[in-house]
C-alpha cells in the first residue's frame, strides 16, 4: 500500500457483514485506510463467497464477481460466533477494535450477544454500526428486506420509468449501496465524536431511511403541493430539453438546465418550429415539451451521436452519449482517474474492478490488496491482536472454533 498514511489508518474494524450493503461500507472503510478484518463462519465463509464462484463468465480463479469486488483490502478471519469459545475470542478482538459493523436482520446481534449494549461493557470506546432494512425501531423494523424492498417502499420506483402502472427499480442497487455509504458517514462521525467524548456509540442505519433521504427535494415538493408525482422517464419536470434522444447510432442526453442554453441550441437546430421567441422562457418550453422534444428528436435522427456531441459541446451545451457498461468503464475520463483498477487474486492473476472514487491529495498511486481467501488471516490476526500461540490456534482449528488457511 501507499507509504503515505491514509486518513483512517490505525482504525481497526471488525466486519461481520454479508451480501452487499454492509460489505460495501466495509470496502469503503478499507479503501480509506482502516484495518478491516472480515469475520466469517468457518467452512463456508460469508454468503457471497459461494455466489458465482463457479460461473465461467462472472468469476476469476474460483472467486465470484460479488466477493471479488466488495472485499479488496480486507483480511479474513474464520471464527464460529455461535461457539462459546469463539464468542470469547470475538470479545477479545472487540477490546482491541474501534468499530464493529454488521448487517444482520434486526435482533440478530442481540441474540448473538454482540450488540452495542453487550460490546460496550467490554470496550467503552467501541463504535458499532448496523445496516438493516428498517433500522432498529418502529412498527415494521423486524421485516426482512433486500435492495428492491427498500427501493419500492422508499418511493423511488414510483417515479422511475415511463408508466405509473409499470414501476421500475434503479439499474444499480441504490437501496443496498445507499445503506453502505450512509454507514460509512455515520461511523466516521462517531469516530470524530469519540475523539472529543472518549466513548463510543451505536450507529443505526436503515436502508429505507436512506432512500427517503435521497428523495431529497422531490419529497419536499410533494409535501408542499400535495401532488403525487408520476414517472417521466428521462425527462425533467422543469427543465427542457432535458432527456435522452436517439441518433443514427447511439442515444445521447441533452441536459439544458436553465434558459441560457436555449439560444445555443437554436444555433444547432435551425428548425422554424423551435424559433418562436416565447420558447426563450423555461415555462413556455415546458408547456410544449412533447412538441419540442419531437422536433429535436427528428433533427437528431439525421446524424450519428459523435456529430451531434461535437456540435453541442462546441456551444457548451451539457450533453453525453448514453454509454453501455463496456463503454463506461473504458471511458478516457474514467481511466485517467483510475476508476477501473487491476486487483490481484491471492492465488495469482488479477481482475479489473471499480476503484475508489474518493481522491485524496495525500494519497498518490493508490494500490489495492487482493480479496482474501477464507481464513487467510486468521492466524496472523489472532497472534498479532491477541497473542495466541501456534499450538493454541491449532487446537482451536481442530475443534472448528476457527479455521486457518491450510
Q: What are the grid coordinates assigned to 96, written together?
A: 482491541
Instruction: Name the active-site residue from 15, 98, 147, 176.
Output: 176
All domains in the chain, ordered by first residue: 12-215+337-403 (3.40.50.10540), 242-323 (3.30.1540.10)
What's the pTM value of the predicted model, to 2 decimals? 0.96
**Per-residue model confidence as pLDDT tens digits over 119-141:** 999 999 999 999 999 999 999 99
**Range 196-222 average pLDDT:** 98
End-to-end CA distance of the chain: 25
CA geometry: angle at 382 spanning 379 and 384, to 5°? 100
Residue 57 buriedness (CB in 10 A; 0-12 / 13-18 / 19+): exposed
Annotated catalytic residue 398: no
CB atoms within 10 A of CB 5: 12
**Per-residue model confidence as pLDDT tens digits over 226-280:** 999 999 999 999 999 999 999 999 999 999 999 999 999 999 999 999 999 999 9
CB atoms within 10 A of CB 328: 13
pLDDT at 208 over 90: yes
The pLDDT of residue 406 is 82
For residues 232 and 248, the answer to whether their CB atoms sit within 8 Å is: no
**Per-residue model confidence as pLDDT tens digits over 270-318:** 999 999 999 999 999 999 999 999 999 999 999 999 999 999 999 999 9
Residue 267 CA: distances (Å) to CA of 251, 270, 271, 316, 350: 21, 6, 9, 12, 49
How far is 381 from 310, CA to CA, in rounded Å? 55
What is the DSSP secondary-structure string of 244-312? EE--SSS-EEEE--SGGGHHHHHHH---GGG--GGGGSHHHHHHTHHHHHHHHHHHHTTS-HHHHHHHH
The pLDDT of residue 310 is 98
Would you call 28 helix, strand, or coil by DSSP? helix
Q: What does the buried/exposed string (b/e) look like for 345-369 if buried means 16 or more CB atoms within 10 Å of the residue's CB?
A: beeeeebebebbeeeeeebeebebe
pLDDT at 63 over 60: yes
What is the DSSP secondary-structure string of 87-127? HHHHHHHHHH-SEEEE-PPTTHHHHTT-SHHHHHHH-TT-E
Q: What are phi and psi of 366, to 5 degrees?
A: -60, 135
HSE-CB at 181 with a 13 A cutoff on CA atoms is: 14
pLDDT at 182 over 90: yes
The pLDDT of residue 263 is 97
The pLDDT of residue 3 is 52
Chain mean pLDDT for the chain = 97
Amino acid at each position: 500500500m501507499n507509504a503515505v498514511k491514509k486518513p483512517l489508518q490505525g482504525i481497526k474494524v471488525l466486519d461481520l457483514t454479508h451480501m452487499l450493503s454492509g460489505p460495501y461500507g466495509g470496502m469503503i472503510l478499507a479503501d480509506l485506510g482502516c484495518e478491516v478484518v472480515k469475520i466469517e463462519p468457518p467452512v463456508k465463509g460469508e454468503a457471497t463467497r459461494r455466489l458465482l464462484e463457479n460461473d465461467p463468465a462472472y468469476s476469476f480463479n474460483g472467486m465470484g464477481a460479488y466477493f471479488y469486488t466488495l472485499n479488496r483490502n480486507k483480511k479474513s478471519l474464520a471464527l464460529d460466533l455461535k461457539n462459546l469459545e469463539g464468542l470469547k475470542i470475538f470479545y477479545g478482538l472487540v477490546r482491541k477494535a474501534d468499530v464493529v459493523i454488521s448487517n444482520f436482520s434486526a435482533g440478530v446481534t442481540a441474540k448473538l450477544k454482540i450488540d452495542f449494549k453487550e460490546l460496550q461493557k467490554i470496550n467503552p470506546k467501541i463504535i458499532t454500526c448496523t445496516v438493516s432494512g428498517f433500522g432498529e425501531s418502529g412498527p415494521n423494523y423486524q421485516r426482512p428486506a433486500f435492495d428492491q424492498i427498500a427501493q419500492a417502499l422508499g418511493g423511488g420506483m414510483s417515479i422511475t420509468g415511463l408508466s405509473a402502472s409499470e414501476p421500475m427499480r434503479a439499474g444499480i442497487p441504490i437501496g443496498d449501496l445507499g445503506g453502505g455509504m450512509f454507514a460509512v458517514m455515520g461511523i466516521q462521525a462517531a469516530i470524530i465524536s469519540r475523539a472529543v467524548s472518549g466513548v463510543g456509540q451505536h450507529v443505526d442505519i436503515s436502508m429505507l431511511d436512506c432512500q427517503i433521504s435521497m428523495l431529497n427535494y422531490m419529497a419536499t415538493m410533494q409535501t408542499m403541493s400535495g401532488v403525487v408525482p408520476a414517472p417521466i422517464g428521462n425527462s425533467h419536470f422543469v427543465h427542457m430539453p432535458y432527456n435522452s434522444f436517439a441518433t443514427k447510432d447511439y442515444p445521447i442526453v441533452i441536459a439544458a438546465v436553465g434558459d441560457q442554453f436555449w439560444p445555443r441550441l437554436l444555433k444547432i437546430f435551425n428548425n422554424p418550429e423551435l424559433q418562436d421567441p416565447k420558447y426563450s422562457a423555461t415555462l413556455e418550453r415546458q408547456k410544449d415539451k412533447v412538441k419540442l422534444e419531437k422536433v429535436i428528436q427528428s433533427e437528431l435522427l439525421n446524424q450519428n451521436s459523435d456529430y451531434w456531441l461535437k456540435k453541442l459541446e462546441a456551444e457548451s451545451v451539457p450533453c453525453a452519449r448514453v454509454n453501455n457498461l463496456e463503454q463506461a468503464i473504458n471511458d478516457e475520463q474514467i481511466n485517467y482517474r483510475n476508476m477501473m483498477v487491476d486487483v490481484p487474486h491471492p492465488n495469482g492473476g488479477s481482475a479489473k474492478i471499480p476503484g475508489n472514487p474518493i481522491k485524496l491529495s495525500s494519497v498518490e498511486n493508490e494500490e489495492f490488496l487482493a480479496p482474501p481467501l477464507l481464513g487467510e488471516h486468521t492466524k496472523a490476526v489472532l497472534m498479532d491482536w491477541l497473542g495466541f500461540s501456534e499450538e493454541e490456534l491449532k487446537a482451536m482449528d481442530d475443534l472448528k472454533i476457527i479455521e486457518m488457511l491450510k
